[in-house]
Amino acid sequence: METTLRGVGVSHGVAIGEVRHMGTAVLEPPAKQIPAEEAEREQGRARQAVEAVAADLIARGNLAGGEAQHVLEAQAMMAQDPELMADVERRIAVGSTAERGVYDAFAAYRALLANAGEYLAGRVADLDDVRNRIVARLLGVPMPGVPDSDEPYVLIARDLAPADTALLDPALVLGFVTEEGGPTSHSAILARALGVPAVVALPGAGELAEGTVIAVDGSTGEIFVEPSAEKRAEMESAAAARKAALSASSGPGATSDGHKVPLLANVGGPGDVPAAVEAGAEGVGLFRTEFLFLDDSKQAPSEEKQVAAYRAVLEAFPEGRVVVRVLDAGADKPLEFLTPADEPNPALGVRGLRSLLDHPDVLRTQLTALSKAAQGLPVHLEVMAPMVADRADAKAFADACRQTGLQAKFGAMVEIPSAALRARSILREVEFLSLGTNDLAQYTFAADRQVGAVSRLQDPWQPALLDLVALSAEAARAEGKSCGVCGEAASDPLLACVLTGLGVTSLSMGAASIPYVRATLAKYTLAQCERAASAARAADSAEEARVAAQVVLSGE
């Protein structure tokens, strides 16, 4: 009998197939004491296992490329964290085996993350995966992983670590469903990059029996268990129609009556550029520069290294717009040379622009490198600051840009409710706004963006979040300036229409989402988008807002 479940759709498309579960194993080693004379040998075993796991993660990243490579390199850095390794060796010195020392040291670090205001909880899955890989290697047992199957299937897991998601074979894994995670978790981001339909935060997903046939709608988050022939035909027909619309869609983003909405790409470095160009991105709406800095958490990259990385991206979009976000460090991206190590809640502490203003030399070097990278290129360079709270922040950033002689537009990200509420004041200092809807939702609802239990509050359809978007867009219109969206909200085709109706002037997203958004925008007039936006804002919940917008746009 067909039943319907609902999670959070995070990657477009439809998948119909049999359930296969991610392999699991208990990797808690026994607690036993070793003689003191064995401590040095055990410490050596631990170091070798850590280095082997880090090397494996880096190799997987090199194979996957793009966004996945950045994520896996960050995981490798977790494995090699010197403080963690020092704790492991201390535990071995007082009698733990190598595997038990690793297990207990990671458990202690895990607890520290949980007590840091839970902002870092989203990285706990990554940390657990690193621990399991090291312990498995020390125990000589295989890592639990993607099931072995000759036939295509839908993968079910409690959560997916980046190392597993990055190398999924789309020819075999039709789609995946997880019990945990959220729309901005690593597995969701990588699913979109792979083009694999995915639903996360589905309670009870693990109870779906092996071999059960399910139909996954990665757009709506719906899961149909044992779908009827009619439901299968309906979903397959809708998927075919969507594919045909994508193939027919090309050119700049615009509504059906010609209102232009530039569709830009979010990139993390040069490796993400080919996919953006292939998808027809009109430029870059968010160039995340922190991955360049995460290569070495102890010191900032040289000016020369930065110039080379920036120029590789700028050269890919001649005459296009490239919006660069200066280093967004702190919280889940700590850097030893920049961010405080003892903050009780890093999400609410010295992060983003606050860190850069405390270290003006790092900001100055980055702005100088951007200036040199753009020299002689016809690109339209724009540079923005993360975590701007008020006009004083905006002025400090704009002043720093001018002092380096940077020839670019200066902007501010709206990720804090205060910035949306006082957007017009901020726009007296900068030339554009860019809404980071992921963090804006997190701070508006006090809901960690990586915690599945509060994923409904991370839903970008929440009317309160739409209100803040509207406030920002209205302020930009009043000042004659632009206001884009670069958060994951822009990748939802229906929501893209609503954002356009709210007055947003550009949309930036992962490259895989651009064709979907382009095709959907082209079906509706600006007036229809505006009516859908009004209907969504009048709702009282995210689900009601989504339905209300759909009703308006479908003409029902």
| Catalytic positions | 186, 486
Ordered strands of the 213-217 beta sheet: 3-6, 222-225, 213-217, 14-21, 153-157, 173-178, 198-200, 8-11
- Residue 217 pairs in a beta bridge with 14
Strand (E) or helix (H) holding 45? helix 39-64
- Residue 336 pairs in a beta bridge with none
With contact defined as beta carbons under 8 Å apart, do 159 and 187 qualify?
Answer: yes
- Residue 6 pairs in a beta bridge with 222
CA distance readout (Å), 469 to 476, 483, 490? 11, 9, 12
Q: Is 446 exposed, middle or buried (0-12, 13-18, 19+ CB in 10 A)?
A: exposed
Question: According to the 3-state scheme, what is the secondary structure of 181-217?
Answer: CCCCCHHHHHHHHHCCCEEECCCCHHHCCCCCEEEEE
* Strand 3-6 with 222-225, pairing: antiparallel
Backbone angles phi, psi at 464, to 5 degrees: -65, -35
With contact defined as beta carbons under 8 Å apart, do 140 and 60 qualify?
Answer: no
> Rounded CA gap, 514 and 520, in Å?
10
Residue that is written with structure tokens 């959907």 in the block: 520
Q: Strand, coil or helix: what is 284?
A: strand
Q: Which of these, 540, 199, 460, 255, lies nearest to 548 by C-alpha position?
A: 540
Q: How many helices and strands, by DSSP H and E, does the chain display?
A: 22, 16
Backbone angles phi, psi at 323, to 5 degrees: -105, 115
CA distance readout (Å), 348 to 119, 254, 487, 509? 9, 38, 19, 26
> Rounded CA gap, 18 and 209, in Å?
9
DSSP assigned state of 260: B
Q: Which amino acid makes up residue 494? A: L
Token code pair at residue 480 = 């004659």
Provide the H-helix boundaries in 215-272. 229-248
With contact defined as beta carbons under 8 Å apart, do 536 and 461 qualify?
Answer: yes
> Rounded CA gap, 93 and 36, in Å?
7
With contact defined as beta carbons under 8 Å apart, do 173 and 440 qualify?
Answer: no
